[in-house]
Amino acid sequence: MSDASDDGCALKVRLIKLKSRLIKRIKADAVRTRLAVVLLVVPFMGLYGIANRLNATRGSTLVFQFPIDDRIPFIPVFILPYFAWYFYVAAVLLWLAFDKKTGQLLYRQVLAICLSETIAFVIFLVFPTYMPRPDVVGQDLLSRLVRLIYRSDFPYNCFPSLHVCLAALTAWVLELAGPKHLLFRLANLAMLLLITLSTVLTKQHLSPDIPGGLLLAGLSWLLSGLIIRLFRQVSKRGRYADSVGKN
């Protein structure tokens, strides 16, 4: 009787361990899938570079500006929030990938970014814009960072601002799924404002590019929601058709 009881306990322990390993594997597979979804944005972000190089070879581009642009100063310190944009967008995407509590929000954010990049790519080619830049000659860290951006990013593809667009999408996702503490929400808003200001104060963009980026963010977010809803409806109809066919 004792041997049978010991065998039963040992079997239960093995089953528990097996279940634990299966759960860990399922979670790991889910994270890998979500990370793969995040990587989808990489080729779409590459569209910007393609348009940037193409427009650099074109004979005519437009300086699209408002009268206020002549009064906006060049402030090198704003290169810091301009660079912070890269961490801001990437960090939130990784958070969405690893935190499954955010649910389907990851897929909508990735789709919205891909749509933004695609729409902007078309606009850059159809409506090519140019940004006159100042000569930055200082040897301090901020001046070197500005020159680094200037060397890697030709002064084209201004309207709409993808910096503003993707920052707005990121801030909106954090507003929806991030902590609801007042300080966090204010910090998130401050980050969006600083990044937005940095686009014109580093002379990477002109003022019309800001509302253009915000409108693109809103349009891409709405389209991503519509596409996801349509996809779900088609999937439901497909499953219903399969169940009817089996019956």
pLDDT, mean of residues 216-220: 98
Q: Specify the range with the lowest mean pLDDT, choosing from 78-92, 118-132, 209-223, 229-243.
A: 229-243
User: Which residues are paired to 130 by β-bridges?
Assistant: 156
Q: pLDDT tens across 125-178, in order? A: 999 999 999 999 999 999 999 999 999 999 999 999 999 999 999 999 999 999
Q: pLDDT tens across 20-29, in order? A: 554 455 455 5
> What global pTM score does this model have?
0.85
**Residues of the chain above pLDDT 90, percent:** 74
Secondary structure (3-state) at 181: coil
**Neighbour tally for 184: CB within 10 Å:** 13
Q: pLDDT tens across 104-119, in order? A: 899 999 999 999 999 9
CB 159 within 8 A of CB 129: yes
Burial of 117 (0-12, 13-18, 19+ CB in 10 A): buried
Q: pLDDT tens across 95-105, in order? A: 999 988 888 89
CA distance 43 to 114: 9
Mean pLDDT, the chain, rounded, equals: 89
**How far lies 170's CA from each of 80, 92, 119, 144, 189, in Å?**
18, 7, 18, 28, 10
CA distance 87 to 96: 14
Q: What is the pLDDT of residue 216?
A: 98
> Backbone phi, then psi, for 57, in 5-degree steps?
-100, 0
CB 66 within 8 A of CB 206: yes
